[in-house]
Copies of this chain bind each other. A is one copy, B any other.
Amino acid sequence: MSTDVVPNRWERRKARTRAALVRAAQSFIAAGKVNVPILELTQAADVGMGSFYNHFESKEDLFQAAVADALDGWGVALDTLTAGLDDPAHVFAQSFRLTGRLHRRHPDLSKVLLRNGVDLARSDTGLAPRARRDVEAAVRARRFAACDVDLAMVIVTGAMIHLGRLLHDQPDRDDGAATDHVAEDLLHMFGLPEGEARDICRRPLPDLDPPP
């Protein structure tokens, strides 16, 4: 065993500890327990109390990291899946349709989003900046009508988060159909004719792997 195995093993262990804390925080946020003591977080993560401060300055710091981690994981996956598409309206619609389906597929992370969505919508990581980029690309390509992108994002992010609430409240509702319907309404709002908006929102979707 060479000597450089030791730091590597230590690094891997450090990363595992951080990931365990992030996952524990994600569970607590999903359960609405944002005022849980740090001790309870470290116990749930099965790590020592001292480890916490090697990674995070405060509980709020951990919670922010937990939410950002989940959303960025989804964002990277969405980017991969839209990489081959030519039409920016299609890119926007596909990412919206896949994101809407995550509410049921990952209910705990969805509830993180519901509890923090208004603030996350203005984060510079995660899903919101990617949706903004897609809207801007579609406007530049004249697929969407010229618009105030800040205001468009108000509608897009608000719809995505409130859609999650509806899908949790109405467990019998078809989440795919509901999401596609909202996406279609948004495309129409952005200036696409109704028929074309419907067509784009009925195209087959790629599989979205679970977030990392």
Query: Chain B residues near A161 (CB, 8 Å)?
Result: 118, 158, 162
**Copies of this protein in the complex:** 2
Within the complex, which residue of B154, B166, B189 is in contact with A189, where a contact is CB–CB below 8 Å? B189
Return A89 CB to nearest CB of chain B, in Å: 15
A170 close to B (CB within 8 Å): yes
B154 adjacent to A163 (CB under 8 Å): yes
**A118-B165, A121-B165 known; A155 and B159 CB under 8 Å?**
yes
Query: Chain B residues near A119 (CB, 8 Å)?
Result: 165
Residue of B nearest to A145 (CB): B194
Return A174 CB to nearest CB of chain B, in Å: 11
Q: Bound state CA distance, A152 and B114, in angstroms? A: 18
Tally of contact residues, A, Cβ under 8 A:
35
A151 close to B (CB within 8 Å): yes
A residues in contact (CB < 8 Å) with B: 35, 114-115, 117-119, 121-122, 147-148, 150-155, 157-163, 165-166, 169-170, 173, 178, 181-182, 185-186, 188-189
A-B pairs with beta carbons under 8 Å apart, 27 shown:
A114-B118, A121-B162, A121-B165, A147-B185, A148-B181, A150-B166, A150-B170, A151-B163, A151-B166, A152-B185, A154-B162, A154-B165, A154-B166, A155-B155, A155-B158, A155-B162, A155-B182, A155-B185, A157-B162, A158-B160, A158-B161, A158-B162, A159-B159, A161-B162, A185-B189, A188-B189, A189-B189
Known: A122-B165, A188-B189. 11 other contacts (CB 8 A): A121-B165, A147-B185, A152-B185, A153-B162, A154-B165, A155-B155, A155-B185, A155-B186, A157-B162, A158-B158, A188-B188
